[in-house]
């Protein structure tokens, strides 16, 4: 396929690279020239704006860091909406169902189909092509796009309702956000009582407490104190806030979600939006007066 790809960050760059390696022809755009140059060296063509991408191809994908970025790229001045060829806009970002529905309505006025396509699995999943790819939109468009999406991960059709895949993504990321802070509290409790955190993680992973934080994040980024898993605290907090908003709109009881949300607000205040989200353990450690992992 001829595919436009906008947003070549930590997730977008490896996804775009995999599409090129699979034989797709890419037209790429990012505000950072060095990111564009990396893919041009692999055979992609460069564009100077989202509009120029949408002038050159019918299928435009985007992987962007914020709701406002998705809205502007899709529907703003010099955006995809102004392109002469674009027929479909596939948003790989996490923007929540409300924003997805808004973008859907605006693009529909120009006969451009908006496809929700958030992904989960982190930078490692993007590099390996093992992401969970959640799709909502017209079934015929899904069938057309599926061969390309198969390149970046395991594809799930969530439904035709605009925003449905976003709801699925928020449910997933709420669980991921809960896992890292809950595991942090559990391990800090053990360390405060004199347990070895590495042994704790081994036991948890062999038992019923195993989760994505204990399985992946703690061994790789928390116990070694590298805090480099590759997902920013600011992005996690954005997703948690979106999940809380959606739960409220649905009139749900959300005692656990509220508590998780408060914890992540503490993390972003203490560690900053640019910190790695595995640094969530740090404010919990400070309150307990312990350090988990490292050489202590």
What pLDDT does 295 receive? Answer: 58
- Judged by DSSP in three states, 158 sits in strand
H or E element in which residue 157 lies: strand 153-159
**Is-catalytic flag, 169?**
yes
Query: The domain at 167-288 falls in which architecture?
Result: Orthogonal Bundle (1.10)
What pLDDT does 118 receive? Answer: 97
What pLDDT does 293 receive? Answer: 87
What pLDDT does 170 receive? Answer: 96
pLDDT tens digit sequence for 101-150: 999 999 999 999 999 999 999 899 999 999 999 999 999 999 999 999 99
125 phi/psi in degrees, rounded to 5: -65, -35
Q: Which CATH number fits domain 2-160: 1.10.260.40, 3.30.420.40, 3.40.50.720, 3.40.50.150?
A: 3.40.50.720
Residue among 34, 98, 99, 23 at smallest CA distance from 62: 99
> Judging by DSSP bridges, how do beta strands 131-136 and 119-120 pair with one another?
antiparallel
The radius of gyration computed from the CA coordinates of the chain, to the nearest angstrom, equals 20
Separation of alpha carbons 174 and 288, rounded Å: 25
Ordered by start, the domain boundaries in the chain are: 2-160, 167-288
> Judging by DSSP bridges, how do beta strands 2-6 and 119-120 pair with one another?
unpaired
Give the pLDDT means over successive 10-residue stretches in the chain (296 positions).
Answer: 96 97 97 96 97 98 95 97 97 95 96 96 93 97 96 97 96 97 98 97 98 97 95 95 95 95 98 98 98 76
Residue among 56, 169, 238, 282 flagged as catalytic: 169
Residue among 70, 63, 72 at smallest CA distance from 19: 63
Separation of alpha carbons 219 and 292, rounded Å: 11
Contact yes or no for 199/189 (Cβ under 8 A) = no
């Amino acid at each position: 396929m001829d595919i436009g790809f906008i947003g070549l960050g930590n997730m977008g760059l490896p996804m775009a690279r995999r599409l090129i390696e699979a034989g797709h022809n890419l037209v790429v755009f990012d505000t950072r020239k060095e990111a564009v140059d990396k893919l041009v060296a692999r055979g992609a063509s460069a564009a100077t704006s989202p509009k120029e991408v949408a002038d050159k191809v019918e299928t435009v994908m985007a992987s962007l860091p914020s709701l406002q970025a998705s809205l502007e790229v899709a529907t703003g001045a010099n955006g995809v909406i102004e392109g002469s060829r674009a027929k479909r806009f596939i948003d790989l970002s996490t923007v929540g169902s409300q924003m997805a529905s808004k973008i859907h309505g605006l693009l529909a006025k120009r006969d451009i189909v908006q496809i929700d396509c958030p992904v989960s699995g982190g930078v490692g999943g993007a590099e390996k092509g093992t992401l969970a790819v959640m799709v909502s939109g017209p079934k015929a468009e899904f069938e057309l796009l599926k061969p390309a999406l198969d390149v970046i991960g395991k594809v799930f059709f969530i439904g035709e309702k605009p925003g449905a895949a976003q709801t699925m993504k928020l449910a997933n990321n709420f669980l991921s956000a809960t896992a890292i802070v809950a595991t942090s509290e559990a391990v800090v409790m053990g360390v405060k009582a004199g347990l070895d955190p590495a042994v704790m993680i081994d036991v948890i992973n062999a038992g019923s407490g195993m989760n994505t934080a204990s399985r992946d994040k703690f061994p790789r980024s928390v116990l070694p104190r590298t805090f480099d898993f590759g997902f920013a605290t600011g992005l996690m907090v954005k997703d948690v806030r979106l999940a809380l908003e959606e739960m409220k709109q649905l009139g749900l009881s959300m005692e656990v979600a509220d508590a998780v949300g408060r914890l992540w607000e503490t993390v972003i205040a203490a560690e900053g939006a640019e910190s790695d989200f595995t640094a969530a353990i740090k404010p919990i450690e400070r309150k307990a007066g312990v350090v988990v992992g490292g050489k202590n």
